[in-house]
Structure 1
Amino acid sequence: MRKNVEFGTEDGTVLRGWWYAGEGSDSRPGIVMAHGFSATKEMFLDDFAELFHGAGFDVLVYDNRNLGESDSPLPGEIDPWQQVHDYRDAITWFSQQGGVDADRIGVWGSSYSGAHVLVVAAIDRRVRCVVSQVPLVTGLENARRLVRSDHWDGLRAAFDADRRARLAGEPPAMIPVAFENTPDEPCALPTQDTHDFFFGPIRERATTWRNEVTLRSVELFTEYEPQAYVPRISPTPLFMVVATGDVLTPCDLALSAYEKALEPKRLLTLPGGHFDAYVDEAFAVSGPAQLQWFTEHLLK
């Protein structure tokens, strides 16, 4: 059974999502899930959640703050560390719900949230198992892959100008997530497959998605280094999914981070690009493999 839920974070922001709840009085293992950079829960997270729920897990899926149906104290602001804190508040709330076994909680993330769950699993020992799909692992190096070298000085100047403006009381500068018409339009995620994903058929399902984030979100992206936490995840079991043709969170960066992880760990490589991981043949392979990992470490 899926029901709409909302819960408060430590600073009072209300996050909203779905709870796929089991039946009966027995305590069940739980999985906490959120989406990536600007994405909302309707962008295929229900497919993963239904798969996990059908195998006996309670699943909490929620929209990150400032996105989707959750509260937006700073609309379009994507602060990776705030999202890490919100994951931990989500775990706290979920663990206190009837029917959920607080000693058997796993976390799942993809893309930007795939980065967050690496950090959460390393610092929060309540997490018993983690699945990280096509994750960002190094903000600066990843950004250098996405932004032309001759554009960096201008981008840094824009960050500085935005900081001065905010200090003077002006609203944060905004930038599109994806280009809408041509690749030369300024945007946060300047790849063709990002455009194709966000402006494709998913728009019919994800009606709350907005093609706009704060420029500060991009600056925070460049400063975020979840790979530093990867060696600290052990002994929590880590499952990482990497797409070999990924140009948004490049495969080689993710593989390098995986090599730094200690056991227990498992790697699954998928053909195709970043967004292929959510659908069709890739989901048919990856979904059951992820379920097996959660089952091995949370159900048994």
Structure 2
Amino acid sequence: MSKDTRYQRHTISIPVGDSFCTAWLHMPTGVQRPPVVVMGHGMGATREMRLDAYAERFAARGIASIAFTYRNFGDSGGTHRQELNVKDQLRDWEEVLAHARGRDDVDTSRIAVWGTSFGGGHAITIASRHPDLVAAVAQCPFTDGLLTALRLSPFESLRLQGKFIRDLVATVTRREPVYLPLAGAPGDVAIMTAPDALPGYQSLVPDGGTWVNSTRARAIPRLLRYRPGRSTKKIQIPILFCISSTDTVAPAGPTLKYARRAPHGVVQTYEAGHFDFYTGQPFEQLVAEQIDFLAKHMSTQPTGGAR
């Protein structure tokens, strides 16, 4: 439980099939049945990696949140550890949303979703499926796996394909899975090799915390096929897109194109890089603008910042 008297933080477990997602519930103090935001992180990241920073600011302004860790990562359940599976992660979102709707201590008529990076892509997908939500926020969102992959050199593509084939063979022959890093240095065989990817992930790990820089290679074709940006035109609720114009992980070009198709979309761009959004001045600007956007559409008192 947090020492900040403006809110309380509780660790909760949300069933998903025969497993569970572990989450933090941030509840603002003295607010009866507040609105609630469901929050999910990026590729291979856990809620400890600065989701709490956003959740605490939301709670201090009267907005509850449920920030969860996907199955197979962190302290959530799951038998296929470190496996990225788009379908499974979207089910996690659905089950956490269902949990939020079933609570009697929040206003279930005022639910929003908030996702960052890969989770930003999921937030787009979920928003397109749930017109009953009141708002959504997609921060530096992953929007198109195919277009992102086209930025790779033929040599990089072949190396990743080799890892995938080895993992596929391992699955068929019941051998040990083949893993590769989520983030590596330029020239490494990893899902992300932008210069700021590995130090960016590491900068989000709290003191004394851990982050496993690994995923099964079988995730590669799933990432290529995932194109959540194509769903933006179906979103019937207000959605705020927070886009890094210098993003090396989720390229700004495709994201801007998709974001402008959302019927009720609001687009904000920032010079800060993909991993700069979580700390310092970029974080302060982002969280203030997001609070104002959420407050406007969730009928709470805004902060008076930019919209």
TM-score tier, shorter chain, comes to over 0.9
Contact 1:45 1:61 in 2 (8 A): yes
Mapping 1:182-193, distance limit 5 Å = 182-193=185-196
Change over 3 Å in CA distance of 1:196–1:41 after alignment to 2:
same
Q: Secondary structure at the match of 2:110?
A: strand
Contact 1:268 1:286 in 2 (8 A): no
Q: How far apart, CA to CA, are the structure 1 residues paired with 2:110 and 2:206?
A: 35
Picking from 105, 109, 117, the partner of 1:111 is 117
| Partner of residue 149, structure 2 | 143
Report how far residue 126 of structure 1 moved: 3.4
Q: How far apart, CA to CA, are the structure 2 residues paired with 1:40 and 1:260?
A: 30
> Comparing 113-122 with 249-258, which one deviates more in the overlay?
249-258
Q: Secondary structure at the match of 2:134?
A: strand
For residues 194-240 of structure 1, what are the alpha-carbon distances to aligned partners after superposition, in whole Å with 9 as ceiling and x for unaligned? 1112234x334472310111111222111101012111012x11100
| Partner of residue 16, structure 1 | 22
Change over 3 Å in CA distance of 1:25–1:289 after alignment to 2:
closer
| Partner of residue 175, structure 1 | 180
Q: Secondary structure at the match of 2:44?
A: coil
| Partner of residue 159, structure 1 | 164
Q: How far apart, CA to CA, are the structure 1 residues paired with 2:208 and 2:252?
A: 27
Displaced runs of 4 or more, over 4 A: none
For residues 257-276 of structure 1, what are the alpha-carbon distances to aligned partners after superposition, in whole Å with 9 as ceiling and x for unaligned? 112211x2211111121011
| Partner of residue 252, structure 2 | 251
Q: Secondary structure at the match of 2:219?
A: helix
Contact 1:106 1:128 in 2 (8 A): yes
Q: How far apart, CA to CA, are the structure 1 residues paired with 2:163 and 2:207?
A: 34
TM-score with structure 2 length normalisation?
A: 0.90
Higher RCO (C-alpha under 8 Å, 6+ residues apart): 1
Q: How far apart, CA to CA, are the structure 2 residues paired with 1:297 and 1:171?
A: 49
Change over 3 Å in CA distance of 1:24–1:204 after alignment to 2:
closer
How many equivalent residue pairs? 293
Mapping 1:32-47, distance limit 5 Å = 32-47=38-53
Picking from 31, 34, 46, the partner of 1:28 is 34
Report how far residue 82 of structure 1 moved: 1.3
| Partner of residue 81, structure 1 | 87
TM-score with structure 1 length normalisation?
A: 0.92
Judging by fraction of residues, say which structure has more helix.
1
Q: Secondary structure at the match of 2:14?
A: strand
Contact 1:38 1:213 in 2 (8 A): yes
Q: Secondary structure at the match of 1:100?
A: coil
Change over 3 Å in CA distance of 1:206–1:62 after alignment to 2:
farther
Q: Secondary structure at the match of 2:128?
A: helix
Q: How far apart, CA to CA, are the structure 1 residues paired with 2:132 and 2:177?
A: 36
Q: Secondary structure at the match of 2:107?
A: strand
The residue identity in structure 1 corresponding to 2:220 is V
| Partner of residue 10, structure 2 | 3
Report how far residue 158 of structure 1 moved: 3.4
The residue identity in structure 2 corresponding to 1:8 is P
Report how far residue 292 of structure 1 moved: 0.8
Q: How far apart, CA to CA, are the structure 2 residues paired with 1:197 and 1:243?
A: 14
| Partner of residue 216, structure 1 | 218
The residue identity in structure 1 corresponding to 2:248 is V
| Partner of residue 295, structure 1 | 295
Unaligned runs of 5+ in 2: 1-7, 301-307
| Partner of residue 242, structure 1 | 243
The residue identity in structure 1 corresponding to 2:209 is T
Report how far residue 2 of structure 1 moved: 0.5
| Partner of residue 95, structure 1 | 101
- Note the aligned Cα RMSD (angstroms): 1.7
Find out whether 1:285 has 2:285 as its counterpart. Answer: yes
Q: How far apart, CA to CA, are the structure 2 residues paired with 1:184 and 1:156?
A: 15
| Partner of residue 265, structure 2 | 265
Contact 2:40 2:67 in 1 (8 A): yes
Q: Secondary structure at the match of 1:50?
A: helix
